[in-house]
Structure 1
Amino acid sequence: MVNQWTQAEHALGYLSRAEQLPHRLEGEAVLLEQIPRNVERVLDLGTGDGRLLALVKRKCPHTKGVALDFSPAMLQAAQARFADDATVEIVAHDFDQPLPPLGCFDVVVSSFAIHHCPHERKRSLYEEIFDLLEPGGVFCNLEHVASPTPALHERFLYAIGQSPHTDDPSNKLLDVETQLGWLRQVGFADVDCYWKWLELALLVGVKPA
């Protein structure tokens, strides 16, 4: 399984163009709408430079956050972003492996990260996320998903300034419906795709209270 995210050049190259990802702000805005303002603890899986967790904390300033990633370059960027914020804990961990003991959370978020896991690991990770959530907790996964046809995948690549020749070999894309089905099987309620543009989708589920 190819995963280039431990390479600094690959990680920093992504960060340099992340702001230009079309419609990203729309997806993030819909994600933030799903998060109550009174949450106490938030886990950001695959935090990257901490962008999404920073947006969550802007909405919920008193929230304590855990930012998890395994890329040294990403961890360094997250540490720099949250250097003056004692309410954020940075955790180095490859979530291809079972999650470490982290405690319980009111919200778990992830942004364009879980699609780097093999499909079997995606499903087991959803189970672990369910177990980490407090009753009534929310899981929001802003994700890169598979297109239903090769032609639509190629259209997406060109829409984000890439091509089949520059497609990221680390991606292990899976369709929306399969993942929604897994979330329901795990036990999440109110599961749906809350927003979508081509291969970018927001998958949400709530742990029953």
Structure 2
Amino acid sequence: MATETTTITPTRRPFRGSCHCGFTKYVIFLTLPHSPAPESAPVPGPEPFQAFARCNCTICHKIGTLHVRVPFAPDDFLLLSPLDPLAELGTYKRKPDGFNFLFCKNCGTRCFTFMGEGENVEVDLGKLGVEGGERGTTKVWRPKPEGWKEGRANGCYLSVNGHSIEAGQDGFDIGTFVDKDWVLYYDYRELHGEARPQKYGTPHEFGAY
């Protein structure tokens, strides 16, 4: 007897995240089940892709980040608290013009990494489908959409640490993502000259699953 297979339609929906003490709170919009981008595709790139990724560079490896990249950060990420992250969160920069590796000054959790400009706007969380979001406007911080073009060279970058997304939300399970080969592995350690091509399946040298 043939087994009937249930197909789940990919759906974009909000997921909540926070630091350990709760000072940093955010909402990220993800489409799950995930559709992995081709290994050869820039992520994100000219075509908007969602990605889960591990990087083997010395910073990402030491802080244990699972990068969650969204197609268009100004639409897909809302910071509920604090409303001035570059002033109210701690930051580490490897280079003066590099990424802001932001962290909570109280508990030390790193929820997201950012480069670019942000702005405060009013949104209706209830209308956006955010659980617990009452109807009516709420002031949030987000990446500024005007001129946002993803990429270090363009000065625009957002990566959410997947470990800071609240556990128990339907559809988000990091172990499942690894099992399904949804995690893309970057080589920025560059131990053999130029960076090796990004790939699925297994980490690059000194990387982690």
Normalized against structure 1, the TM-score is what? 0.27
Point out the structure with max Rg over C-alpha.
2
Structure with the larger RCO, 1 or 2 (CA within 8 Å, 6+ apart)? 2
More strand by share: 2
More helix by share: 1
